[in-house]
Amino acid sequence: MSRIYFHSPSGDAELRGSERAWLGSIARGPAATAWDLDPLHGIDRARDILALVPEVPDGPHGANYLHTYLREAGAQEQANKRVYADWSPGRPLSGPTSHEPQRRLISSLSTALRYGLRMIVAGVELHTANLDLNTALVAGSDPVRLAAKIDGWCEAHCWVEGPDRAWLADIIDRGLTAGLYRKGLWYSNTPDGPKDQWSDQGWGQVLDLLRSRDDEPVVMSYSVCDGFPNPEIAGRESESGQWYDLPGGEQWQTAMDGLRRERPWARLAPDTLGEVMFGLPVTVYDLFAPDRDERVRAAAQLVDA
């Protein structure tokens, strides 16, 4: 199974990959509400969203399927309205109706937004996966913000400096106390059996590591990506053979120097948790604000903020 690793020079901790998926769901909750895509009545909202998504040629794999679904749902909506317009109490409908094209559109669009659609707004390129996580940063509590940062940047080695380890542990404790984070899961060994087996998610390990000392950084990685330290973040990729001959302490220091230099945005701290955003500082709320274009241009520094 996949893992999120929390690395330090003195020891590591592991968080189960299933908890990363859960954190992603927590982080995208505010955006799901802000997109406001109702399965039965969301076609107008879908039109507004897809107006920001450039159409591309369909090609052999239906690359433009969302716009195709929108047109099909719109045609069915008009057909439904004609049938309902002819109806009166006591009479059967004059023809068939269907809401399936609209449900298909809303379901497909909701999935695409989560995994990342390219948008052009006021001449600025945006990506919906970033918008989702930024929305969590402005609308959520600290545990929700941390969920967004872990899900979004654990693969990029987001980290906490030694003096901020206790602060990070306190946020995790708050998430566990509120039930946002899961200490563990009950499960069954058989399809119909009782859920009497306990699977610890690993937060206890993480808290123990964070609170064990305050003079070393803790750096995250994801099990299907590069661990930490590694030669790429250290800027020693072309010398990877020599890199593995370095003592462990030197690897750590070189990689931390590279991480601080190349990815300062990935540092977790009280002054960065809600302020440093994913890509441009634009949220789903901004997309539907009356001054949307001005907000997006300001975020892109095309006009004065």
- At 211-251, the pLDDT tens digits run 999 999 999 999 999 899 999 999 887 676 788 889 999 99
Structural domain contains residue 192: yes
- For 226, the domain range is 3-31+136-282
> Tokens 């990685």 belong to which residue?
221
Residue 135 class from Cβ within 10 Å (0-12 exposed, 13-18 middle, 19+ buried)? buried
Task: Establish if 202 belongs to a structural domain.
Answer: yes
> How many structural domains compose the chain?
1
Whether 81 is in a domain gets the answer no
pTM, rounded to two decimals: 0.91
The 10s digit of each residue's pLDDT in 83-92 is: 888 888 878 8
Q: Are the beta carbons of 227 and 154 closer than 8 angstroms? A: no
Which helix (H) or strand (E) segment holds residue 46: the answer is helix 43-50
Q: Look at residue 193 and tell me if it is in a domain.
A: yes
User: What is the Cα–Cα distance from 43 to 109, expressed in whole angstroms?
Assistant: 11
Domain for residue 99, yes or no?
Answer: no
Mean pLDDT over residues 292-298, rounded? 96
Would 140 be classed as within a structural domain? Answer: yes
36, part of any domain: no
For the cut 60, the answer to whether the pLDDT of residue 305 exceeds it is no
* Inside any domain, residue 293: no
